[in-house]
Amino acid sequence: MKLVMFDMDGTLIDTQALIAEHMATTFAEAGLDVPSPAQVRRIIGLSLPQAMLQLLGSGDAQLADRLAEAYRGHYRASLVAAEGREGLFPGARDALDELRSQPETMLGIATGKGLNGVLRLTQLHGIAGHFSTLQTPDHNPSKPHPGMMLRAMCEIGVEKHQTVIIGDTTFDMEMGKAAGTKTIGVTWGYHHSNELLGAGADILIDSYAELVAAIDTIMET
């Protein structure tokens, strides 16, 4: 058996424009300097409080929590208007379908997005039934802590050599390495290829058409 874990934002679903807009609104309303889209790209994948701390450049946890809650409110309020702006990346559905069809393969999610958001998006795209474990900051430390991976492996009953994380950020690669699992970096997301390799990616792929073969290759090493 093998466990294939997916990050969401930047790996399965393209949400960067929406996230950047809501971050800008949140910081502007608080009278703070608005982070640029490039700055926001750097923090996608972290839990919201950790993301806010990085954007603030300070250790003010109370302010970070207030900003996180305001951001959640803006995101929830935009869900109707945001229809069509949280699409799956090209080829993602086909790759998920192919992996799900393999009797020995279990799928899971490890994301900085909250559980409610994960449930909403997986249902929206008709892929909720593909995943056997959902790991979020609701019950785990933020990436790059290995907690999400360790909890998923425990739930499914697999060992680290049977597990791989697919992600687009250094946080994903570092989380996988800390958990002792395999790591596949995707080049269509929010961190650069050289950063993913520097953070420990075992292999990089440029499209979902390469994913199934990459998983087979990496599991043999």
Which class would CATH give 2-14+87-219? alpha beta
Sequence ranges of the domains in the chain: 2-14+87-219, 16-77
- pLDDT for residue 220: 85
Q: How confident is the model at residue 83 (pLDDT cuts 50, 70, 90)?
A: low
State percent of the chain over pLDDT 90: 88
Digit-coded pLDDT (tens) for 27-44 = 999 999 999 999 999 999
Question: Which two tokens mark 89?
Answer: 């990346």
Over residues 48-72, mean pLDDT: 94
Residues 67, 73, 76, 81, CA torsion sign: negative
Residues sharing a CB contact under 8 Å with residue 94, sequence separation 6 or more, in sequence order: 208
Pairwise CA distance, residues 91 & 101, whole Å: 16
Task: Tell me the residue type at 30.
Answer: A
Q: How many CB atoms lie within 10 A of CB 137?
A: 21
pLDDT for residue 192 is more than 70: yes
Pairwise CA distance, residues 147 & 175, whole Å: 8
Pairwise CA distance, residues 109 & 69, whole Å: 23
Pairwise CA distance, residues 39 & 148, whole Å: 25
What rounded mean pLDDT belongs to the chain? 94
Does the fold of domain 16-77 match that of domain 2-14+87-219?
no
Of 1.20.1260, 1.10.150, 3.40.50, 1.10.3470, the CATH number of 16-77 is 1.10.150
State percent of the chain over pLDDT 70: 98
